[in-house]
Amino acid sequence: SQTIHQWPATLVQPVGSPLSLECTVEGTSNPNLYWYRQAAGRGLQLLFYSVGIGQISSEVPQNLSASRPQDRQFILSSKKLLLSDSGFYLCAWTSGSAETQYFGPGTRLTVL
């Protein structure tokens, strides 16, 4: 069966510090991968998606970036965090052309 992992689970970072969040999927090959942010009272916002290694599409311009160095690994990064980057970050995957997205456990990021 497929599983999706995210780490860290919780992160507290100062403004201006760098960020790296990791998402990995097990039990499947060539998944489509997604990063969402969930801010208080604002629902889920799609940040990036990837249909293959090195292929990243950005949905919202911001100071975040994403990379996919391996087939089942998706990384969310920032060079300098802003207060507004605080939120709950969720990674999701789909199997190829399937329509159902499955979500990871999330990372709670607090920027102080």
Partner 1 sequence: AQSVTQLGSHVSVSEGALVLLRCNYSSSVPPYLFWYVQYPNQGLQLLLKYTSAATLVKGINGFEAEFKKSETSFHLTKPSAHMSDAAEYFCAVSLKDSGYSTLTFGKGTMLLVSP
**Positions in the binding site for partner 1 (CB under 8 A):** 6, 32, 42-44, 46, 49, 51, 88, 90, 92, 94, 96-106, 108
Closest to partner 1 by CB, 65 vs 108, is: 108
* Closer by beta carbon to partner 1, 44 or else 80: 44
For residue 16, the minimal CB distance to partner 1 (Å) is 26
- Give CA–CA dist 100/105, Å, rounded: 16
Q: How far is the CB of 96 from partner 1 (least distance, A)?
A: 7
Strand order in the sheet with 64-70: 3-7, 19-26, 73-78, 64-70
For partner 1, the closer CB: 59 or 80: 59
Measured CA to CA in angstroms, residue 78 lies from 6, 35, 71, 99 at distances of 17, 13, 21, 29
Closest approach of Cβ 79 to partner 1, in Å? 26
> 87-95 and 64-70 as β-strands: parallel, antiparallel, unpaired?
unpaired
For residue 112, the minimal CB distance to partner 1 (Å) is 19
How far is it, in rounded angstroms, from Cα 80 to Cα 75?
16
Q: Which is nearer to partner 1, 16 or 94 (CB)?
A: 94
Is the separation of the CB atoms in 66 and 46 below 8 Å? no
